[in-house]
Amino acid sequence: MIIEVVAVGTELLLGQIVNSNAAFLGHQFAENGFDSHYQVVVGDNFDRMVETFRTAIDRADAVVITGGIGPTQDDVTREAIAVATGRKMIRDEEYAVAMRTRWESLGRVMPENNLRQADRPEGADPLPNRAGTAPGLALEHRGTWIFAVPGVPAEMELLITEQVIPRLRRAAGDSVVLVSRVIRTWGRSESQVAEMLDDLFQASVNPSVAFLASAGEIKIRVTAKAETEAGAELLIAPVEAAIRDRLGSTVFGTDRDTIYRVVQAMLIQKGWTIATAESATAGLVSAALTRTPGSSAVVAGGITAYTIDAKAELLGVSRDLMALDGLVSEPTALAMADGARFRFGTDVGVAVTGEAGPDPAETDTGTMVIAVVTPEGRMARTLRLPGDRERVRTYATTAALHLVRLAVAGEWWAP
């Protein structure tokens, strides 16, 4: 079953609000095994609404319309559905009475405008809205289902989960389940990952394979359709295994795993504590390590040493070493990590020194050196990162957490 989502609202076109409803709906439909080919946003313009509804009704098996069903004059979704399907508007007198009674029970007089909410295209069922005043509607028109729900997220979500999804599942005969697994990796570029998995991607139908890059991570999404969740998992398993096999320790988690949680869990399992020494990232690594609740079990603290004096006096880095090797160098980074371990008495020390730009003092902008020292070993890596200052600092922070992950796992490599 193919579902099209149409959002009505000039405020969406003007960027005054973000269409988070579309993401909610997309997620709900995907989880229920429905396909989605298009999402459309149209302003509060009657003719364009009619045209958009007609196109959607033509090309989809079900159309879900959000917004434009309130009581005010610019709420014309109901009327536009009537025109798009060639139906008259009918007033539901029973519903009108119920509305009046409801207002009276609240001790208020219903504004006459609100009566419009009792109007519906002929043949449509009301979808009662227990979170607000505007009822939704459901209409079967020549084999296509049309639903209209409020644009207010809380009301929309309630109507979708309680009323629209069950109706759609019944209409679809309920046979297909869709399961997605997101495999999260760090350490290779999107194009490298794509090349390593090219045959899986080319062959991918069910399960399908897709790539997604975000903030230095490459995610691989494997999506399977089957009659049951277990059946879909069986389709995913060999593909996931092949991907993990090829990508090795660049894979750090699945689905909602984050590097923050993964590192914290690994440190807890080892019984190790950690401290940071930062120059260019200036606290971002320490902030990232404490992002997850429970971090005080493993994080002792950190020192941002922005000046040479702070590096020497607070972290105990030798001034001769800094003069000889440079502030942005692997020996300096390792000495900073040693300093953090010593100062805080922790098992692990992680250090970042680098040139975030835009006016490099000593080395090229984007050169970041990361060092990790654990009871089992030491490593330092020099990365050259693209982008502006903020991006370089963010990427270096992510990289530092991943190098901690690899070092704690005893994997002494790094890109």
Interface with a second copy, residue 14, by CB under 8 A: yes
Of 190, 233, 257, 325, which one interacts with a second copy (CB under 8 A)?
A: 190
Round to whole Å and give the CA distance between 365 and 116: 62
Cβ of residue 123: shortest distance to a second copy, in angstroms? 27
The tokens describing 35, both together, are 């396909």
**Distance between terminal CA atoms of the chain?**
44
CA 75 – CA 388 distance, rounded (Å): 45
On the 0-12 / 13-18 / 19+ scale of CB atoms within 10 A, 93 is exposed
Separation of alpha carbons 328 and 279, rounded Å? 9
Pick out residues in 342-371 that bind a second copy (CB under 8 A).
343-345, 357-359
Distance CA 210, CA 76 (A): 39
Token pair listed for 362: 């000593």
Q: Based on the shown chain and the rule CB under 8 A, indicate whether residue 56 belongs to the binding site for a second copy.
A: no
Q: Which two tokens stand for residue 75?
A: 């709420």
DSSP single-letter state for residue 355: -
d(CA 26, CA 410): 40
CB of 410 vs a second copy, minimal distance in Å: 26
- In the set 66, 77, 85, 114, which binds a second copy (CB under 8 A)? 114
User: Measured between alpha carbons, how far is residue 279 from residues 54, 148, 328 in Å?
Assistant: 59, 54, 9
Shortest gap between Cβ of 383 and a second copy (angstroms)?
10
Contacting residue, 70, 121, 136, 187, with a second copy by CB under 8 A = 70
Q: Is there binding between residue 25 and a second copy (CB under 8 A)? A: yes
Both structure tokens of 385: 């990162």
In the chain, the amino acid numbered 164 is V
When asked if residue 98 is in the footprint of a second copy (CB under 8 A), the reply is no
Q: Which of 272, 248, 244, 271 is nearest to 372 (CA)?
A: 272
Closer residue to a second copy (CB): 35 or 140: 35
Closest distance between a second copy and the C-beta of residue 29, in Å? 8
Give the footprint of a second copy on residues 271-290 (CB under 8 A): 276, 278, 281-287, 289-290
189 near a second copy (CB under 8 A):
yes
152 binds a second copy (CB under 8 A): yes
Mapped onto helix, strand or coil, the DSSP state of residue 389 is helix
Q: Encoding tokens for residue 381? A: 């890596």
Tokens of 195: 């090349």
Among 58, 91, 104, 113, which residue interacts with a second copy (rule: CB under 8 A)? Answer: 113
Q: How many residues bind a second copy (CB under 8 A)?
A: 105
Site string for a second copy, 222-261 (x = CB under 8 A): ----------------------------------------
Q: Which is nearer to a second copy, 10 or 87 (CB)?
A: 10
Shorter beta-carbon distance to a second copy: residue 97 or 409: 97
Q: Does 326 bind a second copy (CB under 8 A)?
A: no
175 near a second copy (CB under 8 A): no
Check whether the bond before 207 is cis (ω within 30° of 0): yes
- b/e burial code for range 104-122 (CB count within 10 A of at least 16 → b): eeeeeebeeebebbbbbbe
Nearest distance from residue 326's CB to a second copy, in Å? 16
What values do phi and psi take at 129, rounded to 5? -120, 100
User: What character string, x for contact with a second copy (CB under 8 A) and - otherwise, covers 295-324?
Assistant: xx--xxxxxxxxx-xx---x----------
CB of 309 within 8 A of CB of 317? Answer: no
Q: Which is nearer to a second copy, 40 or 87 (CB)?
A: 40
Q: Least Å distance between CB 411 and a second copy?
A: 21
What's the rounded Cα separation, in Å, for the pair 330 and 107? 74
By residue count, the chain amounts to: 415
Write down the least CB distance from residue 132 to a second copy, Å: 7
Among 32, 39, 185, 374, binds a second copy (CB under 8 A): 39
Residue 66 found at the interface with a second copy (CB under 8 A): no
Q: In the set 122, 198, 227, 229, which binds a second copy (CB under 8 A)?
A: 198
Which span (112-120, 135-143, 165-173, 262-270) binds a second copy, by CB under 8 A? 112-120
